[in-house]
Amino acid sequence: MKRIFTHFALACALLATATTAHAQDAADRLWWGHFGTGDISPYEVGALGTERQETYNMAIRLNPADNASIAGATIHGIRFMMTTTTGFKDVSVWISKQLPASADAADIVKTDVPEANLVSYAEGFVEVQLEEPVEVGEALYVGYSLTPTNIADDYHKYPMITYGEAGTKDAFYFKTDVGQPQWQSLEGYNYGNIVLQVLITNPGLARNAAELQSATETVTLAGGEDNSLPVTLTNRGLNGVSSISYTYTIDGQESEENTYTLPAALTSLDTSAEVLIPIPAGTTAGKTEKVTVSLKQVNGTANEVASPTVEGYRLTIGEQPKRRVLVEEFTGTWCGWCTRGLAALDWLHENRAEETALIAIHQGSYTPDPMQIPLADYAYYPSLASYVSGFPSALLNRNLSTDPFYGTTDASLFDDITIQNDIDREVNSPTEATIKVTPIWNADSTAFTAKTDVTFLVNRNDAPYGIAYALIEDGLSGKGSAWSQANYYVNYASYASSFKGDLLIPYVTGSNPMTGLTYNHVAIAAWNITAGLDGSINAPITKDEEQSYTLETALPRSSVIQEKKNLSLVAFLINRNNGKVVNCDVMPLMSQETVDGIATVNALQPAGVESIYDLLGRKQQTAGRGLNIVRSADGKTRKVLVK
């Protein structure tokens, strides 16, 4: 079975959100599914299939014991998405107490869908009204079935429309005639949820109701500016959530009641959003304090459901340490707009190398990308695709998903690179630890060790952290169509004089596709980049006390690696409570002789010079060590070359 990711069709980027006849047929009716209520954008969906010409049966499970919104509900209709309207037969929807052997075996209802009612995913949902409503008094399965009449293209090879990445409970069951003859749940896999909703009424649903589900952590400078504690808020009412009132308690002291207006109201039932609760800065450096948040009102009225308090933490540091920003860019040779990502990463490397660690994550689409990490060996990066809405995109410290060139700036096509504004904000944000990595080859360059030193600026009894690693390579190139880079900027050649900067000019004046390009910062392998390696950080954590961890690993078997001398290792510390990157470091893989050479130079350095890098500014050669360390004239970039 194969997944086509969210870039299902690039043209979808120009479409408005999915248009349907309605999100609510009448008062108090709403479309409910495991991914939420209401509509979704066609650009947010993916496609999945077995690449066989066979009947597909897909279903979700409605369990009143697990889903309060459907307890006591009545189903009036079913809707789903299709890749296209032609080349399918026997399209039907059904409801059954058990997963049926086929649509005809459904024991409650089966309704055939007329061909005239079919619409493609780009136009919205295929909606089917039930002749007789069905009450949800017990757990039920709701599904749809269809059979492609050919598999001449991807629309028929991958006919199951999915949403998101990590499949949730009861949100995706499927079987086919040949490829998967038994019903299979895809909970916990990285295939997402099937796009399927039911039209319900439920007199038990509240109007103004919300629930706090979790809180994470915030870092403040002692006596500095306030910061924000991220809290997860979930809508449980038909009126949605536009504002809340809350209190927070720190060290036994409860705040006055505060009101927070959401930037975008939660209108979809059971959907959640991260709410940033302003928290005052701490006063004692190194202190970790529990923060308890209580929800009081929703939309200016008393909350209609009981919402438990949630607990997070305030970490207070004494001074801001040096911080690098982890920039993970999602790209592909098939992606015509991704050339601006190439330009952005090259600019960041040349101008902000001391403040960033860059990783270019290549993924294939209908056409393969020769630099994509093999999924069988390194499945971590595809799981991060759910963080981004399209290609190219960049994650900054897992804290912000944005454009790799423009960042969050409301920029036009002709603006210069502005992601540096977001880089500045991340660099200057308080963080609770520093990290330094030293990767060293073994004698024959078939394996390496990476000693990683982490120093925390806070005390805490627990240790919700992990160190993650990514191996990257510079200078990748190749011949053939697979290495050709799609480039849509060539269509703007007549506007070249309007570009404020010259970073995109090579692509504006280039060709489509472009050949002969060199790709840098390419992800080759990864070691638990989602949560960090278990045991890499241990409790308790003591302020200013260094913890060391050593990764020992053979060089991954990768067809992507071209030159070992061009490999570097990125190490980054992940806070598992919020999934964000605390700090990171990047260094080229060095020989033991190189490390000895650096140590020798450091031992001889003059007083007041902290490290070998403070001596740079001219080319240096350590006798007999084969080491060249070069810093550019602007003092911002460095390179370690091993002969």
pLDDT in tens, 396-434: 999 999 999 999 987 777 778 999 999 999 999 999 999
Highest mean pLDDT among 133-137, 163-167, 370-374: 133-137
Terminal alpha carbon distance of the chain: 45
Q: CA 466 to CA 326: how far, in whole Å?
A: 15
Reported as a pLDDT band with limits 50, 70 and 90, residue 599 is: low
What is the model's pLDDT at position 448?
96
- Check: CB of residue 474 under 8 Å from CB of residue 568: yes
Q: Which amino acid is at 230?
A: P
Average pLDDT, integer, range 536-541: 98
Is the pLDDT score of 519 beyond 50?
A: yes
Q: Which CATH number fits domain 325-589: 2.60.40.1180, 2.40.30.10, 2.60.40.10, 3.40.50.2300?
A: 2.60.40.10
Burial class from Cβ neighbours inside 10 Å (0-12, 13-18, 19+) for residue 585 reads buried
Burial class from Cβ neighbours inside 10 Å (0-12, 13-18, 19+) for residue 30 reads buried
Strands of 280-370, DSSP E: 288-298, 301-302, 310-317, 325-331, 356-362
What is the model's pLDDT at position 325?
98
Q: CA 258 to CA 277: how far, in whole Å?
A: 9
C-beta pairs of 128-131 under 8 Å, 24+ apart in sequence:
128/77, 128/78, 128/79, 128/93, 129/76, 129/77, 129/199, 130/75, 130/76, 130/77, 130/78
Average pLDDT, integer, range 374-382: 49
Is the pLDDT score of 378 beyond 80?
A: no
Strand order of the β-sheet with 447-456 is 433-441, 447-456, 546-554
Is the pLDDT score of 602 beyond 60?
A: no
- Check: CB of residue 214 under 8 Å from CB of residue 231: yes
- Check: CB of residue 204 under 8 Å from CB of residue 70: no
CA 415, 420, 421, 422 torsion-angle sign: positive
Q: CA 216 to CA 287: how far, in whole Å?
A: 16
pLDDT tens digits, one per residue of 465-500: 999 999 999 999 999 888 999 999 998 888 888 887
Q: CA 521 to CA 362: how far, in whole Å?
A: 10
What pairing do the DSSP bridges indicate for beta strands 447-456 and 433-441?
antiparallel
| Token duo for residue 568 | 């570097």
| Token duo for residue 622 | 């350590």
Q: CA 114 to CA 132: how far, in whole Å?
A: 18
What pairing do the DSSP bridges indicate for beta strands 310-317 and 217-221?
parallel
Residue position matching structure tokens 């510390």: 573
- Check: CB of residue 38 under 8 Å from CB of residue 44: no
Reported as a pLDDT band with limits 50, 70 and 90, residue 68 is: confident
Q: Which is more confidently placed, 388 or 342?
A: 342
Please give the CATH architecture assigned to the domain spanning 210-317.
Sandwich (2.60)
The CB-side HSE value for 10 (13 A sphere, CA atoms) comes to 14
Reported as a pLDDT band with limits 50, 70 and 90, residue 523 is: very high
What is the model's pLDDT at position 530?
87
What is the model's pLDDT at position 28?
73
- DSSP bridge pairs for 390: none
DSSP codes, 127-196: EEEEEEEEE-SS-EEEEEEEEES--SSHHHHS-EEEESSSPPTTS-EEEESSS--S-EE-TTSTT-EE-E
Residues of the chain with CATH 2.60.40.10: 210-317, 325-589
Q: Which amino acid is at 461?
A: N
Reported as a pLDDT band with limits 50, 70 and 90, residue 366 is: low
3-state secondary structure 249-302: EECCEECCCEEEEEEEEECCCCCEEEEEEEECCCCCCCCEEEEEEEEEEECCEE
CA 531, 534, 536, 537 torsion-angle sign: positive
Is the pLDDT score of 218 beyond 80?
A: yes
Q: CA 314 to CA 302: how far, in whole Å?
A: 28
**Residues of the chain with pLDDT > 70: what percent?**
85
pLDDT tens digits, one per residue of 308-350: 999 999 999 999 999 999 999 999 999 999 999 999 999 999 9
**Residues of the chain with pLDDT > 90: what percent?**
68
pLDDT tens digits, one per residue of 76-94: 999 999 999 999 999 999 9
Is the pLDDT score of 611 beyond 70?
A: no
Q: CA 361 to CA 450: how far, in whole Å?
A: 22
- Cβ neighbours for 607, distance < 8 A, ≥ 6 positions apart: none
What is the model's pLDDT at position 593?
74
* 471 sits in which H/E element: strand 465-473
| Token duo for residue 401 | 């998903």
Reported as a pLDDT band with limits 50, 70 and 90, residue 374 is: low
Is the pLDDT score of 240 beyond 60?
A: yes
- Residue 32 CA to chain centroid, in angstroms? 24
Q: Say how many C-beta atoms besides its own lie within 10 A of residue 366's C-beta.
A: 12
- CA-atom Rg of the chain in angstroms: 27
Q: What 3-state class would DSSP assign to 563?
A: coil
- DSSP bridge pairs for 547: 454
- DSSP bridge pairs for 144: 58, 93
